[in-house]
Structure 1
């Protein structure tokens, strides 16, 4: 009996190690499920980004590889479950018919990551956007995993993903979701002193529309770098 038990334990132990090894070797990617704005907002954000880039040339440029957007949720997922995540998001979009979102900017939003200032547009929350965000978070929760590293991100040549970016994805739920959801559009990076100058200037609010839902693989500073899926407004 003892011999059989030992054999069983050895077999079970080896199986457990094999399953663990297989699980731990699965590739993780950092994704951003987001709302893309209309052409006028994109044009406005790109123009402001150009001014920031003059102050901080090392900062990212808003373009087709770094489109302006409103993040709904950021997560680490297994790459081999991407299709399941896309289907979960598609289902929410089909059921909710949220597009186009009617949105308004309320001011600038600033923060500092790794001694680099980040500027964004603060967007006025709406009940429609809030409800949709919560449903997206809930629908993708079964696929969320922890422990992602910079390998989960899209990187420029010789670029290093900063720890704040990795931590932001790791803690997005619940730190930046649900009751803590603060809709905004990141515009670019600059020296903190330059951002203080911008904040001191009058801000003129303007309206825009959210026209599509998309999933991107993330880059540094939460940039949407690699488009994985998009659902256009009908």
Structure 2
């Protein structure tokens, strides 16, 4: 056989041809067909992400714990001992604890949100309470100076505190109209002058008098601060409401915020 190169046509593929140089019979092979590359679905061939890895790790961990628990149980049974599964249940316990804490937190936050947004109920000044306050500021109990001052100043502070609580209800003109008469009445009681109280020399060095004065001084300051805070809140909602309070309720008109 010679070393000549023989060219065959497509029709001669798979047939026998003769070499033009030496006449030897040659077998022409079939043309090879390349297999196309497979089409891959990207969704099926994605690279595992962290979530998949975490899931796989958790699955392996769960299986490992289960196998370890099962082996420990078998060992205990073989030794005739009672199997203690508590150390394998710690993870469940911690998860339950976390879930309970989260649930309590959610409930607490919901309760606090309701507390902040709950409607304020109106405080009504009854005739009975008004009568008691009048008796307090008009006290004639002169058994002792401290008793006299205590009755008067307690009633006066209570009037101011009640006005502050009533103001919490106001955020519209309609609500102001509802409570205006109660505010006027409390203001009138709080400003009543008692001759017996006015006759006391509050500057003299009497420890009992000084003690009573100090006690009610801080209480009255707190009540006035609350009163002014509520008036400022109402003023931000509607300046007209605050002006109406100033003009119609004498005790409110005497607040520092209206003295400029």
Give the TM bin, normalised by the shorter chain. under 0.3
TM-score, with structure 2 as normaliser: 0.23
Higher fraction of helix: 2
Structure having the larger proportion of residues in strand: 1
Q: What is the TM-score of this pair, normalised by structure 1?
A: 0.25
